[in-house]
Amino acid sequence: MKTTLKVEPITSWTHHKQRPLVISGPCSAESKEQVLQTAHQLAASGKVDIFRAGVWKPRTRPGTFEGMGSTALPWLKQVKQETGMGIAIEVANAKHVYEALKYGIDYLWIGARSSANPFVVQEIADAMQGSDITVLIKNPVNPELELWIGAIERISKAGIKKIGAIHRGFSSYEKTAFRNVPHWLIPVELKQRVENLPLICDPSHICGNREMLLEVSQKAMDLNFDGLMIESHIDPSVALSDAAQQVTPRTLVCILNRLVMRNPESTDSDFLSVLEELRGRIDIYDEQLIEILEKRMNVAKSIAHCKKENNITILQTKRWAEVVQKNVALGEKKGLTNTFVNDMLRLIHQESINHQNQVMNEARINSVELEEKNGLSSTG
Ligand code: PEP
Ligand code: MN
């Protein structure tokens, strides 16, 4: 389903001029000292725009630390007064929203478990109605773009104009190098679907460790994300939640300093002419690819005519397995990954089967339709 969703540009909810906007702070607000010390070190770096802290924590298993709740809200208010940083917390029900609004919290984020549940998102949206709060919506735990867009739509329909999206990766049953698999194309497509949408990457929950934070942050910057949300703790080793992925404010600054910021556009004429020439070559190859695919489909249709005359099925599994094997091996020699060649051949095969099916069955199916129609008109 196409949407014509539009939100206000990032400049409407932060005065920050330069990419990346940085949101940092602990996974959980644990004590007044931990919150204030972390916040003051982050503020002193001059690199953090918004202070984050989880107050109500959605934990996978019961019996673990579930956050300090409303007790932590005055600490966050104090952070705002003493450092000037905006404050962001997670809300997961209407009560959380009312509490956050009461304490003057600036940014509310909807967590990945909540954004997967339309009832929860709707309850949160209803509680926000009429306020001019900024809302950041994390991707749902499952890799479903429409569900993410649906959550944004619900918040937007509640009259909230300042909306951003946070990409924190997606759950998978398979063990991977990531805690949550990024599936980068999903946020990239989201940005195309929602006009002006500010996009923030949360490398902490994608990685689940400190070691990969720089690599994932750099990738987000190269994909032109607007900001980063990175968890930081005065002493990560004793953190009550997500200890393995939090960094000290000092390490955060090192990561930020090492990011290479590339421009989405350039006015350098030498660079532009080289780029134009290279893009011209890409365009030619893309055109050739389409023409070759057209030729391939025509051959598939000829095969279908032969098969039809000889009463042979469309699919011969053995032949297809050979095609895949041969071309995956060839692709490997040419520097193409196995997954890519496999996926590409699967798509081509599907299209080929559709064409063959049309040749072999269309006339027959059409005649049934015709018979049905005639039958109907004769009884009607
Ligand atoms: C968090 O930001 O600490 C958090 C719980 O995130 P998510 O909803 O992405 O798991
Ligand atoms: Mn966390």
Q: What is the DSSP letter of 170?
A: B
Task: Provide the pLDDT for residue 307.
Answer: 87
Which residues neighbour 296 within 8 Å (Cβ) at sequence distance 6 or greater? 348, 352
pLDDT at position 379 is: 38
User: Tokens 């994909």 correspond to what residue?
Assistant: 223
User: Which residue, by CA, sits nearest to atom 3 of ligand 1?
Assistant: 27
**Residue-level pLDDT at 380:** 34
Probe target for ligand 1 pocket from 24, 66, 202, 231, with the most ligand atoms within 8 Å of CB: 202
Ligand 1 centroid – CA 186 distance (Å):
18
Per-residue pLDDT, 66: 96
Instruction: Say whether pTM exceeds 0.75.
Output: yes
Atom 1 of ligand 1, residue of closest alpha carbon: 27
Q: Which atom of ligand 1 is nearest to the CA of 241?
A: 3
**Which residues 6+ apart lie within 8 Å of 252 measured at CB?**
24, 42, 45, 47, 48, 230, 232
pLDDT at 75: 98
Pocket of ligand 1 (CB under 6 A): 27, 54, 58, 111-112, 138, 168, 205
Give the pLDDT score at 301. Answer: 92
Give the pLDDT of residue 362. Answer: 76
The per-residue pLDDT for 363 is: 64
Parallel, antiparallel, or unpaired for β 21-25 and 199-201? unpaired
- CA–CA dist 89, 344 (Å, integer): 43
Of the candidates 186, 235, 175, which has an alpha carbon nearest to the alpha carbon of residue 208?
175
Cβ atoms of 45 and 24 closer than 8 Å: no
Residue 134's pLDDT is what? 98
Q: What is the separation of C-alpha 107 from the centre of its chain, rounded to a whole number of angstroms?
A: 20
Closest atom of ligand 1 to 166 CA is: 9
Which atom number of ligand 1 is nearest to the Cα of residue 58?
A: 5
**Which ligand does the CA of 166 lie closest to?**
1
From first to last of the 380 residues of the chain, give the pLDDT tens digit. 555 899 999 999 887 678 999 999 999 999 999 999 999 999 999 999 999 999 999 998 999 999 999 999 999 999 999 999 999 999 999 999 999 999 999 999 999 999 999 999 999 999 999 999 999 999 999 999 999 999 999 999 999 999 999 999 999 999 999 999 999 999 999 999 999 999 999 999 999 999 999 999 999 999 999 999 999 999 999 999 999 999 999 999 999 999 999 988 888 999 998 998 899 889 889 999 999 999 999 999 999 899 889 988 877 788 889 999 999 999 999 999 999 999 999 999 999 999 988 988 876 666 666 666 666 544 33
Strand spans (E) along 48-106 = 50-52, 86-90
- At residue 377, the pLDDT reads 43
CA of 115, nearest ligand number: 1
Bridge-based pairing of strands 86-90 and 163-167 is: unpaired
Tell me what pLDDT residue 368 has.
66
Whose Cα sits closest to atom 6 in ligand 1? 111
Cα 339 to chain centroid, rounded: 21
Residue 239 exposure: Cα atoms within 13 Å on the Cβ side: 24
